[in-house]
Amino acid sequence: MDKIIEILQSIRDDVDFDTEDALVDNGIFDSFDIVGLVSELKAEYDIEIPIEDLTPENFNSAETIYNLVERILNED
């Protein structure tokens, strides 16, 4: 989880990722940021996030992102 927040901070250093839960809905992360994040997550965890999982629900908070990564890691 800390690693996730570290990656998120590297994209936007002015957001409090412990409390923010509307990253996509509030327009803090746009499509470009999502792509950057997906690349970082791929590099860090060696996972492929399917495009249909690139939804606001999955990317609105550090916690939901963490859950997504966990789910994909456990799928194989």
Partner 1 sequence: MSFTSLEFIGFLLAVVVLYYIVPKKYRWIELLVASYTFYLINGIPQIAFIIATTLITYFAAIIMQKRRDRYKAELDAVRDQITKEEKQVMKKTANSYIHTVQVLAVLADLIILAVVKYLGFVLDNVNSVFASFNSDFSLTLPHIIVPLGISFYTFASMGYLIDIGRGKYNAERNVAKLALFVSFFPTIIQGPICRFDEVAPGLFEGHELKYDNLKFGAQLIMWGFFKKMVIADRAALYVTEVFSTGYDKYSGTALFFGMFMYAVQIYGDFSGGIDIARGAAQMMGIELPNNFERPYFSQSVAEYWRRWHITLGAWMREYVFFPIMLSKPVSGLSKKARKVSAYLAKMVPSVITPFIVFILIGIWHGASWKYVAFGLYNAIIVASSVALDPVFDKLNKLLKINTEAFSWRVFRIIRTFLILGVSKILVKAPSLTTAIDILRKIFTEADLNFFKLTQESEIFSIGINPANMLVLAFGVFILFVTSCFQESGIHIRESLAKQNLVFRWVIYIIALILILVFGMYGSAYNAADFIYKAY
CB of 64 to partner 1, least distance (A): 18
CA angle 44, 47, 14 (to 5 degrees): 45
- Site membership for partner 1, residue 15 (CB under 8 A): no
What is the closest distance, in whole angstroms, from the C-beta atom of residue 32 to partner 1 in the complex?
5
**Residue-wise over 17-44: b if at least 16 C-beta within 10 A, else e?**
beebeebbeeebbeeebbeebbebbeee
Please, what is the minimum distance in Å from the beta carbon of residue 18 to partner 1? 21
Tell which positions 29-58 bind partner 1, by CB under 8 A: 30-32, 34-36, 38-39, 50-52, 54
